[in-house]
């Protein structure tokens, strides 16, 4: 336990995020004057940092040392975050690749500065001087922002939208997963009813947005290919009947888990014009797959990939996760060598994120966070593998509690970039989301974003499908 004493509220998120980044193995709690007395008493012995914010600056006490900051103007919170970062660097003796940035979309800063007409050199200096971002990560942000701008130039913002369809079933739940997912074996009897409800949402959306241009469609999960071939056929067949696909630039289905992929299902996807699929190994080390509860074997991954190529798919993505339990540099190198040999069209490299809702938290308590090993070298190995495949980085995002404080990066060959991946990150276009646990984002003309969510529980979603549609109507009416 690592507690922080803070004399003012409204700074808890930034303080917690930065402290946690420097002390990933600790359970960090920020105490403020608004914290309950029982909690303060319980954690009194665990306080390691004391922070006092004042009108003219701030003071931080750590390990019997005091650090002072004089506020000389500008944004107070930004100045305090820079001060806190410098103190934590001195106390721990380390720096972070993304400096004091705690948001999930660091490329948004570079994107905005490019729109303002700033040069690459000016943006790099800003990221390094104002946020202490490493030179390497600053360059990566700028490169990706440039590619995003190019890819998004033909997207219809005010007059268009994208569609997400969530299939919240999986063969099993992986150790690290916190997404809404349900074991397909236990829910098999309600899947047809679930598909009926998603189709009902599709019918509403097609009518409601008949005057809008559909740019991209993404079916994710969960694992969409846990549906039987005939269920996929019914779902996607109705989707193609209801929506005008002549404007759709990208139609993605996450096949994902190799143990859910069959030749028959791939034929259904190909028949309906799915242009991009994922076959996601996460790692090519069988021992790790066993630890994380991913039942698909390495052999099944190879077979699923081969099947997808034989069916005719020419845009296949593969997801990998760095920092999985017990994996070292040689394990990542072995996985990358396998992937290079397979020759996919895009590659998404995730840094393991430790989610509170995942079973990974319990695993760490039993085995220790030191078993999660993600370094500059593992990131470099993955990046070099992507380069061997002729891929460039095209989108990037970060999550809380990421192993090594790194990032998730999407790499792709020219013409194989995932449009939806960028749209969901940059939040520049309305995305209508269907299915249990999905969140619709409405982008208003003034740039504001309003949201509404569907209930996560599958049974409740089926029971309340009319209410889910009514929620959408109330949200979408804001844009009329």
Q: What is the mean pLDDT of residues 278-303?
A: 91
Residue 2 has pLDDT above 90, yes or no: yes
Q: When comparing pLDDT for 367 and 165, which is higher?
A: 165
Q: Are 393 and 410 in contact (CB under 8 A)?
A: yes
Q: 68 pairs with which residues across the strands? A: 59
Ramachandran angles phi, psi of 448, nearest 5°: -65, 150
pLDDT at 61: 96
Q: Are 328 and 297 in contact (CB under 8 A)?
A: no
Q: Are 50 and 3 in contact (CB under 8 A)?
A: no
What is the C-alpha to C-alpha distance for residues 383 and 399, in angstroms, rounded to an integer?
19
Residue 188: how many CB atoms within 10 A of its CB? Answer: 12
Residue 179 — pLDDT band, cuts 50, 70, 90? low
Give CA angle at 148 (427, 208), nearest 5°. Answer: 40
Count CA atoms within 13 Å of residue 96 on its CB side: 30
- Residue 400: closest CA among 97, 24, 96, 133: 24
Residue 3: how many CB atoms within 10 A of its CB? Answer: 23
Q: What is the dihedral of CA 337, 343, 345, 347, to 10 degrees?
A: -10
- Residue 292: closest CA among 256, 316, 328, 324: 324
pLDDT at 151: 87
- In the chain, the N- to C-terminal Cα span, in Å, equals 49
Rg of the chain, C-alpha, whole Å: 23
Residue 357 has pLDDT above 60, yes or no: no
What is the C-alpha to C-alpha distance for residues 165 and 175, in angstroms, rounded to an integer?
24
Q: When comparing pLDDT for 172 and 427, which is higher?
A: 427
pLDDT at 59: 97
Residue 361 has pLDDT above 70, yes or no: no
Residue 217 — pLDDT band, cuts 50, 70, 90? very high
- Residue 148: closest CA among 194, 178, 111, 101: 111
Residue 429 — pLDDT band, cuts 50, 70, 90? very high
pLDDT at 181: 66
Residues 6+ apart with CB under 8 A from 235: 165, 195, 198, 199, 227
Describe the chain by its helix, strand, coil percentages, rounded to 5.
45, 20, 30
Q: Are 266 and 232 in contact (CB under 8 A)?
A: no
What is the C-alpha to C-alpha distance for residues 350 and 333, in angstroms, rounded to an integer?
15
pLDDT at 366: 65
- Residue 420: closest CA among 257, 253, 260: 253
Residue 167 — pLDDT band, cuts 50, 70, 90? very high
Q: When comparing pLDDT for 356 and 150, which is higher?
A: 150
What is the C-alpha to C-alpha distance for residues 174 and 208, in angstroms, rounded to an integer?
37
Pure H helices in 243-297: 263-271, 286-291
Percent of the chain with pLDDT over 90: 76
pLDDT at 405: 77
Q: How is residue 150 written in tokens?
A: 């190019």
pLDDT at 175: 66
Residue 370 has pLDDT above 70, yes or no: no
Residue 346 — pLDDT band, cuts 50, 70, 90? very high
Residue 362 has pLDDT above 70, yes or no: no
Residue 152 has pLDDT above 70, yes or no: yes
pTM over 0.95: no
Look at the block and give the residue holding tokens 């303080």. 15
Q: How is residue 60 written in tokens?
A: 């931080």
Q: Looking at residue 279, what DSSP letter applies?
A: E
Q: How far is CA 270 from the centre of its chain?
A: 26
What is the C-alpha to C-alpha distance for residues 428 and 441, in angstroms, rounded to an integer?
10
What is the C-alpha to C-alpha distance for residues 398 and 466, in angstroms, rounded to an integer?
35
pLDDT at 326: 84
pLDDT at 304: 96
Q: What is the mean pLDDT of residues 25-32?
A: 90
Residue 400 — pLDDT band, cuts 50, 70, 90? confident
Q: 12-26, 159-173, 397-411: which range is least confident on average?
A: 397-411
Residues 6+ apart with CB under 8 A from 49: 4, 5, 19, 60, 61, 62
What is the C-alpha to C-alpha distance for residues 162 and 248, in angstroms, rounded to an integer?
9
Q: When comparing pLDDT for 362 and 331, which is higher?
A: 331
Residue 68 has pLDDT above 80, yes or no: yes
Helix and strand numbers (H, E) in the chain are 18, 18
CA 316 to each of CA 125, 267, 269, 280, 407: distance values in angstroms, whole numbers, following the listed order: 37, 15, 13, 10, 22
Residue 76: how many CB atoms within 10 A of its CB? Answer: 14
Q: Which of 98-102, 306-310, 426-430 is predicted most confidently?
A: 306-310
Pure H helices in 346-406: 360-367, 376-388
């Amino acid at each position: 336990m690592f507690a922080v004493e803070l004399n003012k509220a409204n700074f808890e998120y930034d303080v917690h995020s930065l402290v946690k980044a420097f002390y990933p193995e600790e359970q960090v709690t920020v105490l403020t004057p608004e914290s309950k007395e029982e909690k303060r008493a319980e954690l009194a012995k665990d306080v390691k940092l004391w922070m006092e914010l004042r009108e003219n600056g701030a003071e931080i006490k750590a390990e019997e040392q005091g650090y002072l900051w004089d506020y000389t103007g500008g944004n107070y919170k930004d100045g305090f975050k820079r001060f806190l970062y410098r103190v934590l660097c001195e106390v721990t003796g380390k720096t972070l690749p993304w400096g004091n940035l705690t948001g999930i979309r660091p490329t948004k800063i570079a994107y905005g500065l490019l729109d303002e007409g700033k040069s690459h050199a000016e943006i790099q200096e800003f990221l390094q001087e104002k946020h202490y971002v490493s030179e390497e990560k600053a360059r990566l942000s700028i490169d990706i922002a440039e590619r995003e701008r190019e890819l998004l130039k033909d997207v219809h913002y005010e007059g268009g939208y994208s569609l997400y369809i969530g299939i919240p079933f999986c063969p099993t739940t992986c150790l690290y997963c916190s997404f809404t997912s349900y074991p397909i074996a236990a829910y098999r009897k309600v899947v047809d009813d679930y598909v009926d409800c998603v189709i009902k949402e599709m019918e509403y959306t097609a009518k409601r947005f008949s005057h809008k241009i559909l740019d991209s469609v993404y079916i994710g999960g969960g694992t969409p290919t846990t549906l039987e071939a005939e269920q996929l056929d019914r779902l996607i067949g109705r989707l193609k009947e209801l929506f005008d696909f002549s404007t759709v630039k990208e139609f993605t289905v996450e096949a994902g888990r190799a143990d859910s992929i069959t030749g028959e299902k791939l034929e259904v996807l190909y028949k309906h014009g799915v242009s991009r699929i994922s076959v996601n190994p996460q790692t090519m080390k069988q021992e790790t797959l066993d630890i994380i509860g991913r039942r698909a074997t390495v052999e099944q991954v190879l077979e699923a990939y081969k099947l997808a190529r034989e069916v005719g798919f020419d845009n296949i993505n593969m997801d990998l996760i760095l920092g999985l339990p017990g994996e070292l540099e040689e394990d990542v190198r072995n996985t990358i060598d396998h992937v290079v040999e397979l020759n996919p069209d895009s590659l998404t490299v995730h840094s393991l994120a430790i989610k509170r809702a995942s079973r990974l938290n319990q695993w760490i308590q039993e085995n220790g966070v030191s078993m999660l090993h993600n370094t500059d070298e593992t990131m470099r190995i993955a990046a070099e593998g992507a380069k061997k495949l002729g891929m460039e980085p095209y989108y990037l995002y970060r999550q809380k509690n990421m192993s090594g404080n790194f990032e998730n990066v999407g790499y792709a060959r020219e013409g194989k970039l995932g449009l939806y991946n960028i749209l969901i990150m940059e939040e520049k276009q309305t995305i209508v989301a269907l299915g249990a646990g999905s969140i619709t984002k409405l982008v208003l003309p003034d740039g504001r974003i309003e949201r509404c969510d569907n209930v996560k529980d599958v049974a409740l979603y089926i029971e309340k499908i009319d209410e889910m549609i009514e929620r959408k109507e109330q949200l979408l009416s804001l844009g009329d």
